[in-house]
Structure 1
């Protein structure tokens, strides 16, 4: 056994082995512009890591997380060179972007936006008193189509 092997064995005996096949609890320190995160592990045996990619489990999903968010870090194939931020605790989500080539369907009885008090307007919804037509009076009707050229949304009632 070489001196390096003996030293490595001694260090493993003192600190214990690191299990790269486990999920390790950690705290997000910061998120870089490229979406990767810097994490600080709960265990003192694990060094902090930078450049850890988020593996969210769905194609086309990008997330921004807050400093302080709690995550489990796994190592793909048990390799110390392949960390992945994979499982998230509640809270800490700042922004979520879903990109799909065809459509995104939200199947729920209620969809809330912003502070939870705003609901999206959909085809088939009834509108009352949005914009006064020429000559005055309230607008009443159902949405029959919606188009979004540029940044202005036109609603046909």
Structure 2
């Protein structure tokens, strides 16, 4: 709607779409407890509380993860809008080269968790559990199997592509 209004009425706008930003202070474990966190935070909560990691529909969904520092830098450049170069653009902020399935992400986090020097202070790993999306999210839920950002627009300007 914003894009259409910009085209029709001359509204100056820039739209941005963040793709799976990760890093410190994005979510807290309480957000994961009520189901409103990112996948990484949810998986970490499962590990530290000793509850099973739930793999919705097997965890085969693929996502691309972006370092928060790169995302913020790209967003800053968009807001800065030097030379109005972002006017009328839709810019994805993401890293298409840092892709993993949710299952792979869980395995990576588990491997790091098991090596952590404070690991012995936490409950044993409770395993992975495959859960159907309809029982987890409710009837009618449809997930996107593969979410990979096109950063073609972001790459047109130096310093705008979040690629780490």
State the TM bucket, normalised to the shorter chain.
under 0.3
TM-score, normalised with respect to structure 1: 0.21
Larger Rg: 1
Larger strand fraction of residues: 1
Which structure is higher in RCO with an 8 Å CA cutoff and minimum separation 6? 2
Larger helix fraction of residues: 2
